[in-house]
Structure 1
Amino acid sequence: MDWYLIRSKIRQEFLAEANLHRWDIESFCPQIKQTKARRGKKQTVIAPLFPGYLFSKFDLGRDYRKVTYAHGVADVVMFGSTPAKVDDSIIQGIRSRMEDGFVSLDSYSFSPGETVQIQEGPFKGLLAVFERELTGTQRVALLLKSVSYNARLIVERDLITHVANI
């Protein structure tokens, strides 16, 4: 049996996972804890790591219809006419980052106004000013420093480092 990528109906990842389990089909919807401001108060909420998606391990010939008709499932993600297989190492990699049932994401401590350096990509080596983290993503907004102008740039959080660490 292989792992496949499943697209859930909007905000029904956990319902889809529960219904697949009822059919004795292994599924995995990694979760994270996030702190969000609601009505002026900070609250910890549980959210899927990949909103709208989960993983399921099943026999394609035997269980495909069960999976596609499970409550909460929108469809099996396809590449052309072939269901999207997910390598076991990806599932194990996600599971290895779990603590107390939730995926632990690396925390970065950048402060607004701090100078950072971009480590990869087309802007590698350039200095920028950290502006803010973008909510619910692993991206940050930076102000790119240049001699003649400053430009706003959005990059993956992993691609920047503190200038003091260089």
Structure 2
Amino acid sequence: MKWYVVYTKPKWKKRAAKQLTKFGVNCYCPLIKKTQQRSDRKIRVEVPLFNHYIFVQLAEKDRNIIFNSPGVVRYLFWLGTHAVVKDKEIETIKEWLTSDDSATEISVMQYQIGQKIKLDSGPFCEQNAFVKDITKTHYVLILESLGYVLKVKNK
């Protein structure tokens, strides 16, 4: 079975993932812990790693079951077909989120805008990416296989 990327309504990622799990769909919504400032205090909350996106693993013939959840909008498409994420990429995200060094920084100072690179460290190690933008503090990379934009600090 393949992993597909599903686009959800705003603030529906966790709820949609729970509903899809009830329907028997293998669902993954990567969460990170983040400190948020409230008017009178700071609180620690779990927020989705990817805004509006969750991953579902199901057979091709069962793809329409996800629309039983009111929080699901559509599948994400990449180059005219449903975006498929490799098992290895899902495992990489899971390992990165459970490791102690999840704040790893990636340095790509020698690269130029538009250049294709292969990441050699950090959570997306061994992934291909294009350098989209370089600022004084960050690099903006496009992860080829996920079709996602990654912003990393430069050292």
TM-score (norm 2): 0.67
Unaligned runs of 5+ in 1: 109-116, 123-140, 143-152, 162-166
Rounded Cα–Cα distance in structure 2 between residues aligned with 1:67 and 1:47: 21
- Backbone CA RMSD of aligned residues: 3.1
CA distances 1:118-163 after superposition (whole Å, capped 9, x unpaired): 45434xxxxxxxxxxxxxxxxxx74xxxxxxxxxx754563511xx
Q: What CA distance in whole angstroms lies between the structure 2 residues aligned with 1:29 and 1:94?
A: 10
The change in CA–CA distance for 1:35 and 1:104 in structure 2 (over 3 A counts) is: farther
Map of 1:76 onto structure 2: 75
Do the aligned partners of 1:120 and 1:159 also contact (CA within 8 Å) in 2?
no
Aligned length: 125
Matched, 1:26 2:26: yes
Alignment-derived partner of residue 49 in structure 1: 49
SS at match of 2:51: coil
Aligned residue for 1:98, secondary structure, equals: helix
Asked if the contact 2:138/2:154 (under 8 Å) is kept, the reply is no
| CA distance in 2: counterparts of 1:158 and 1:121, whole angstroms | 15
Specify whether residues 48 and 104 from structure 1 end up closer, same or farther in structure 2 by C-alpha distance, changes over 3 A only: farther
Whether the 8 Å CA contact 1:31–1:49 is kept in 2: the answer is yes
Identify the residue that residue 5 of structure 2 maps to in structure 1.
5
1:160 maps onto 2:151 in alignment: no
Structure of larger gyration radius: 1
> Which contiguous aligned blocks of 4+ residues in structure 1 show a shift greater than 4 angstroms?
none
Contact in 1 for aligned 2:2/2:84 (Cα 8 Å): yes
- State the identity as a percent: 24
Q: How does the TM-score come out when normalised to structure 1?
A: 0.63
- For 1:85, the equivalent position in structure 2 comes to 84
Q: Distance in 2 between matches of 1:37 and 1:119?
A: 37
Residue 113 of structure 1 corresponds to: none
Distance 1:118 1:79, change over 3 A: closer
